Structure 1
Amino acid sequence: MNKINYADVVKFYRKGEVNKLISICEKSISSFPNDINNYWYLSSAYLLNNQIDMAQSIWMSVLWESDDIDKTTQELVDFIHKLARELVISNYYQEAKLFYEQLITLDEDNLLNYKCLLDLNLQINSQEEAEIIFKHLINSNYSDHAIYLEYAQFLAKQYRHEELFLILKQGVEKFPFEQNLYLAMVQFLKNNGRAKEAIAFAEQGLKLNPDNIIFQLENAKILPIIYESEEEIEFYRKRFTEHLDNIFQNLCLKNEMEKKNALTAISLSTNFYLQYQGKNDLKIQKKYGDLVEKITKANYPTTSKYTVNNDNKRRIKIGIISCHFRNHNGANWALGWIKSLDKNKFIINCYYLEVTEDYITKEFIKYSDNFYFCSSDLNTTIETINKDQLNVVIYTDIGMKPITNILASIRLVSIQCVTFGHPITSGLSTIDYYISRELMETENSKNYYTEKLILLPNNGFYLEDINLPKKITNREAFGFDHNSILYLSTQSLFKYLPQFDYIYPEIATQIPLAKFIFIEFPISKYVNHIFRKRLKKAFVKYHLNYHDYCIILPRLNEEKFMSLHMVGDIFLDTFTWSADNTCRLAVSCDLPIVTCPGEFMRSRHSYGILKMIDMEETITYSEKEYIEMAIKLGNNLQWRQNIIDKMKKNKHKLFYDLDCIQGLEKFLTNVVVNKI
């Protein structure tokens, strides 16, 4: 008779033949009564048959007769561990869970058994049971500091930030020499805008290993999400630059470990919030780009052996690369390009560096010639792009996620472009062209890009009409009264710089019924606290109470966000980083838009949109003009209505713009076929 093994148990269970397995095990015991494994297999068969009492009675009888009960118990524990793992491999998670629970019954003092059950509960998304075990392990002095990191990740997914902070703090106190705990705390505080606290923990953590480049770079990228003063902007800008210079000067990539650690360092986060300081970021972006390129070149030295098809009779092969092929501002606009480009001239492949899908993702899949999900492994993504033999790649939003910086820093295709999903230069020498928008750039704009600047006609978008909610929402649904004049300023809070806070009370002094409507930052109470603190300070200077004028709404879903703009009176654009998607929504809702374009493209979105629809009346060119325009729209109802009427008449000009598509086709043809 052949001996049974773990795979046999799973096989019998899969076939629904557990009773047959019980019979075989009983015969094996009759033939080989001294082989203890036969008893373990028999008990496992009873467990799988949900006869828990029978399984336990077999264990107890064997253990009772053992000459060395501790040794036999350990053998049983090892057996159950191995069989449970076999069940997990075979995707029998609930069955494996039953075995792990029996392990704890047999050896309740062994915390590793709890850890196995925890891992399984996390795998099957059994959150309540997982949390019970997390708390048990931490309260039982589990010796591995990683449990605090795992629990922190668990809490982060549920946005339980205060509990997360306390767990990491507890972990740091218990394991004061574990640098990874300090790093996790720094990342948490940084991502919640608590920059000063993050710096304090970073300084403590770096003392443990000052040469850790992962920690060094995360420390450099500590930036507030929202600033309390202009002086704070200058402090963090200088701090970032100095740390970046120091890292670059001392970067060592001689061995594989150094290369791997450096790659991890640039994989954790980007310098995303730096670009919201309202400054010329060309030099800083170039420095950061040089660092990324140096690290990726050391890790991927042979990836630039690209090949392309130069046969002019064939269609031009374009690769569009993004982390945001979904309902996200980073790339949802690119759907218009993909739908409208001439399929007789172009093959369009999309490479999605994420996994989140929605109805927009389905549209990208539908209209692309090929659509790849490339989130799992960078090497696989590189191979996929290389084998497709593209003529040109276009990154929609370099800098929003680390993977885009890393991939874009590698020369995969002979012609590499970036465009305005994230409206800032990439700073990378591997990116040849920045595809921008004619109405949003100035004569000096080429000086703000490391890439060669390409201007598409108008606003560069091919947009379809925005489908507004059919159900009309009234003001009462948002808690607004009918007498108030609603000034909507509904941008992400990190777009609001403190030097412009005074504008709202300036308007309020002339418009007593003004209500300024903002939207909370969704993931950090601290950021919302700082913004409220700033508003209070600004209004106090005018002897006003900001509570009488400012309403900060919670994050709204898409339908409610649209409905909000349908009940507003006036849209106030942000300075230095102008509204783009929200401005187009405001146009669709016939809202008068007050804007003040700045020096850089990212401050000229609303300006370009208003220029395209011939609505220049509310474009201003100074803070003083901006305030006066907002007051005029609030006081002069007839003039405001004239603007609304003209908006209704002209807004169609924003949509279905084929000029930009023709401009894009011309550019792609010139650089690929005509080599211009």
Structure 2
Amino acid sequence: MTVQTLARALPSIDAPLRRQADALVRAFELPPAGPGAKLVALAVLALQHGMPEQATEALNQASGFHPDNTHLLMEIGFIHQNRRQFDKALAAFSKVVALRPGDVAVYASLGSMLIAMGRLDLSIQASRIGLSLDPAPAGLYINLASALRADKQSEAAWDAYRALLSRHPEHAAGLVDALHLRQHLNDWDGYAAHLQLALAKSFRLGFRVPPFSILAASDDPVDQLEAARVWVKRMGGSVASPLARYGARPEADQTRRLRIGYLSSDFHNHATALLIIEMLELRDRDRFEAIGYCTGNIDDGTLIRHRIISTFDFCYDIGALGDEEAARKIHGDGIDILIDLKGFTSGARTEILAYRPAPLQVNFLGYPGTMGAPFIDYIVADCFVIPPEREGDFDEAVVRLPDCYQPNDRKRPVWPEPYGRAQCGLPEQGFVFCSFNAPYKITPDMFDLWMRLLHRVPGAVLWLLEGHPTGTLNLHKEAEARGIARERIVIAPKLVTEQHLSRMRLGDLFLDSFPVTAHTTASDALWVGVPVLTCPGASFVSRVAGSLLHAMGVPDMIVPDLQAYEERAVALAHDPATLGAIRARIEANRLTAPLFDSARYTRHFEDALLSMAARMDAGLPVASFDVPPRPAAAPTA
């Protein structure tokens, strides 16, 4: 539809749209009876009916009548930005800067868009120019800190957050983002007060903050649900008549191959890909077609990248498409069930799902919590991570697999050459507690407990994964403050996965974190025979390691509280026979326990998909259900 065709619909614009158009005309400072005003009204009509190309054309024509009207240029830039046409957006914003070099708001918009483009250097520059003009706007500090974090300048980002909070001490996004950065830096001075303020002054008051950050801040599922609902509320509100605008779907054929779409930016050497790959390879190709939708098409040249791309029937790079255009693509492909593998983690494109491109949409694997979204129908879980009494904490219907919600890859390679203690910086004698979770999961309370373990187990060391250099310095400082020599905190540099798996075998006992527990890392430890000790909480994210231990046949490594956790760790450190027996049990169960029975898991997951589709085809509403267990597969080498 052209702008001229659209113009014929102008007299039929309903009253709310007309009011919106009139308000924009006033805001853009346009003559109300001029051609520019009519074109703005057409742009409003086009946007409300899902036609961004026509909206942009109308605004460009209006800009031709008013070439110095920066409001029009900004609106054009925003539409291009939403469509991920970043070069065109940058051109529009640059014109505004040339016309209004002293307008701070322009630098805020420009800084945000440059982050999305990955032009971090320019975003930092734009934010600093804006702050030199006016040091007050919170958005400039947020942009500056975000760009600095993405550019690996964490200390400078922390300085930006502190400057923001000195001016706006209760700024919701500033409090939560700064807290999450502190977790990555293991910066705990005043941490408890910061944590409580961040929770009290953000989503609980209706302010939009990243839900992923709340997973690491609160074990309360109610907090996590509310943070997710607040986050997606604006998404749903921006989408008019989802799915219906794309036309009706054909009537379901009960014998069809189900078309399953997988939406992610992690089809490369990433934890999600490492877990899901064998499930995709083992799928029943007569009943399921798998289509990958890459929103961040990273070709890292690894084997896992090759495996996961080649296992899809089709795989499309939609990273350059805007949200609605990506949704149109997915809908046009006739996807029956769209599986979101990202949730609210880095690189998520949740807005695509808000357009409802598939009749069923599922939260699976990538995000261990509710998405609080009306456009997400199901969450895949098990009876441990989401017990029946906690279903009310999830806006999705809960689908429970019989053993464990997490798939695994039995083809994961382990470096054949064994590592020695000296090679890894470990002492030749002494007990090795290890925790290879990401350092942001280490809380001050858990670190206190771990330091008590080192006091109670002479000669023991704590082996941690390398994080930010400042974080390592802070952990050594915190250990010494608790009376533990820094030499007893051994830092493991990052290695490729197969080498890391081989190295892990040197650990005597894996100490889980809380409230964010080990997920893929716990599977890795169990795969190479290292016992994992965990203490589950109330939330999904705090119960994953417990689910894995159940599925591995070692539920006795799950303890009810942190006091029991401490006593169990000390007891095992002083009882090599018991610990050795647990290790032997893990090794014996490795190829027979449900956790690593990839074929059994795949059949269960497919049964879940078939049940979802059957309910949809029968016209039944979305509802929680449990998948019946299948027989165990025969052990394989």
> Does the alignment reach a TM-score above 0.5?
yes
Identify which of 188, 193, 206 aligns with 1:245.
206
What is the CA distance between 1:177 and its match in structure 2? 6.5
- Structure 2: distance between partners of 1:182 and 1:606: 37
Q: Does 1:316 align with 2:278?
A: no
Indicate the larger mover: 339-348 or 555-564: 555-564
What is the CA distance between 1:637 and its match in structure 2? 1.9
Q: Residues 194 and 224 of structure 1 are in contact (CA less than 8 Å); yes or no, is this contact kept in structure 2? A: no
Q: Which has more radius of gyration?
A: 1
- Structure 2: distance between partners of 1:596 and 1:534: 23
Q: Residues 331 and 421 of structure 1 are in contact (CA less than 8 Å); yes or no, is this contact kept in structure 2? A: no
Matched letter for residue 504 of structure 1: W
- Structure 2: distance between partners of 1:219 and 1:278: 14
Distance 1:589 1:666, change over 3 A: closer
- Structure 2: distance between partners of 1:291 and 1:169: 24
Matched letter for residue 453 of structure 2: I
Q: Does 1:379 align with 2:324?
A: yes
What is the CA distance between 1:308 and its match in structure 2? 3.5
The equivalent residue for 1:338 is 280
Residues 195-234 of structure 1 correspond to what in structure 2 (within 5 A)? 197-202=159-164, 221-225=177-181, 226=183, 228=188, 229-234=191-196
Residues 67-82 of structure 1 correspond to what in structure 2 (within 5 A)? none
Q: Does 1:292 align with 2:232?
A: yes
Residues 399-478 of structure 1 correspond to what in structure 2 (within 5 A)? 399-401=344-346, 403-460=348-405, 461-478=407-424
Distance 1:492 1:571, change over 3 A: same
Q: Residues 168 and 184 of structure 1 are in contact (CA less than 8 Å); yes or no, is this contact kept in structure 2? A: no
Q: Residues 257 and 288 of structure 2 are in contact (CA less than 8 Å); yes or no, is this contact kept in structure 1? A: yes
Distance 1:440 1:336, change over 3 A: farther
Q: Residues 270 and 401 of structure 1 are in contact (CA less than 8 Å); yes or no, is this contact kept in structure 2? A: no
What is the CA distance between 1:487 and its match in structure 2? 0.8
What is the CA distance between 1:328 and its match in structure 2? 1.2
SS in 1 for 2:216: helix
Identify which of 481, 495, 509 aligns with 2:441.
495
- Structure 1: distance between partners of 2:215 and 2:371: 11
SS in 2 for 1:670: helix
Q: Does 1:187 align with 2:132?
A: no
Distance 1:598 1:405, change over 3 A: same
Distance 1:600 1:302, change over 3 A: closer
Matched letter for residue 636 of structure 1: D
Residues 561-640 of structure 1 correspond to what in structure 2 (within 5 A)? 561-640=500-579
SS in 1 for 2:414: coil
Identify which of 652, 660, 663 aligns with 2:604.
663
The equivalent residue for 2:85 is none
Distance 1:157 1:409, change over 3 A: closer
Q: How many residues align?
A: 495
What is the CA distance between 1:586 and its match in structure 2? 1.1
Identify which of 286, 298, 312 aligns with 1:368.
312
Matched letter for residue 604 of structure 1: R
Q: Residues 343 and 367 of structure 2 are in contact (CA less than 8 Å); yes or no, is this contact kept in structure 1? A: yes
What is the CA distance between 1:616 and its match in structure 2? 2.7
Distance 1:408 1:530, change over 3 A: farther
How high is the sequence identity, in percent, across the aligned residues? 17
- Structure 1: distance between partners of 2:199 and 2:155: 15
- Structure 2: distance between partners of 1:246 and 1:612: 39
What is the CA distance between 1:576 and its match in structure 2? 1.6
SS in 1 for 2:280: helix
Distance 1:290 1:308, change over 3 A: farther
SS in 1 for 2:586: helix
SS in 2 for 1:318: strand
Q: Residues 340 and 661 of structure 1 are in contact (CA less than 8 Å); yes or no, is this contact kept in structure 2? A: yes
- Structure 2: distance between partners of 1:484 and 1:353: 47
Identify which of 480, 484, 503 aligns with 1:545.
484
Residues 55-70 of structure 1 correspond to what in structure 2 (within 5 A)? none
Which structure 1 segments of 5+ residues have no match?
Answer: 1-142, 248-268
Q: Residues 529 and 586 of structure 2 are in contact (CA less than 8 Å); yes or no, is this contact kept in structure 1? A: yes
SS in 1 for 2:179: coil
- Structure 2: distance between partners of 1:476 and 1:651: 28
What is the CA distance between 1:327 and its match in structure 2? 1.9
SS in 1 for 2:363: strand
Matched letter for residue 569 of structure 1: D
Matched letter for residue 459 of structure 1: C
Matched letter for residue 224 of structure 1: H
Distance 1:354 1:644, change over 3 A: same
- Structure 2: distance between partners of 1:440 and 1:241: 24
Distance 1:298 1:479, change over 3 A: closer
- Structure 2: distance between partners of 1:339 and 1:546: 48
- Structure 1: distance between partners of 2:447 and 2:146: 29
Q: Does 1:275 align with 2:201?
A: no
What is the CA distance between 1:427 and its match in structure 2? 1.0
Matched letter for residue 273 of structure 1: S
- Structure 1: distance between partners of 2:611 and 2:436: 40
Which structure 2 segments of 5+ residues have no match?
Answer: 1-102, 621-637
Q: Residues 198 and 222 of structure 1 are in contact (CA less than 8 Å); yes or no, is this contact kept in structure 2? A: no
Residues 123-202 of structure 1 correspond to what in structure 2 (within 5 A)? 171=129, 174-176=132-134, 182-188=141-147, 192=154, 197-202=159-164
- Structure 1: distance between partners of 2:339 and 2:529: 33
Matched letter for residue 474 of structure 1: G
SS in 2 for 1:326: coil
Instruction: Write out per-residue CA displacement over residues 77-128 of structure 1, whole angstroms, 9 at most, x where no aligned residue.
Output: xxxxxxxxxxxxxxxxxxxxxxxxxxxxxxxxxxxxxxxxxxxxxxxxxxxx
Matched letter for residue 235 of structure 1: L
- Structure 2: distance between partners of 1:217 and 1:651: 44
Instruction: Write out per-residue CA displacement over residues 401-421 of structure 1, whole angstroms, 9 at most, x where no aligned residue.
Output: 364321222222221111122
SS in 2 for 1:454: strand
What is the CA distance between 1:668 and its match in structure 2? 1.8
- Structure 2: distance between partners of 1:220 and 1:494: 14
Matched letter for residue 658 of structure 1: A
TM-score by structure 2 length?
0.69
What is the CA distance between 1:555 and its match in structure 2? 3.2
Instruction: Write out per-residue CA displacement over residues 227-266 of structure 1, whole angstroms, 9 at most, x where no aligned residue.
Output: 6233332111112226x6257xxxxxxxxxxxxxxxxxxx
- Structure 2: distance between partners of 1:324 and 1:388: 21
What is the CA distance between 1:495 and its match in structure 2? 1.1
Indicate the larger mover: 663-672 or 362-371: 663-672
- Structure 1: distance between partners of 2:334 and 2:447: 51
SS in 2 for 1:371: strand
SS in 1 for 2:290: strand
Q: Does 1:347 align with 2:293?
A: no
Q: Residues 363 and 371 of structure 2 are in contact (CA less than 8 Å); yes or no, is this contact kept in structure 1? A: yes
Matched letter for residue 185 of structure 1: L
Matched letter for residue 442 of structure 2: Y
What is the CA distance between 1:326 and its match in structure 2? 1.7
The equivalent residue for 2:463 is 517
What is the CA distance between 1:189 and its match in structure 2? 5.8
What is the CA distance between 1:489 and its match in structure 2? 0.8
Distance 1:634 1:206, change over 3 A: closer
Q: Residues 221 and 240 of structure 1 are in contact (CA less than 8 Å); yes or no, is this contact kept in structure 2? A: no
What is the CA distance between 1:553 and its match in structure 2? 3.2
SS in 2 for 1:333: helix
- Structure 2: distance between partners of 1:437 and 1:291: 25
Instruction: Write out per-residue CA displacement over residues 48-86 of structure 1, whole angstroms, 9 at most, x where no aligned residue.
Output: xxxxxxxxxxxxxxxxxxxxxxxxxxxxxxxxxxxxxxx
What is the CA distance between 1:470 and its match in structure 2? 0.6
- Structure 2: distance between partners of 1:418 and 1:664: 13
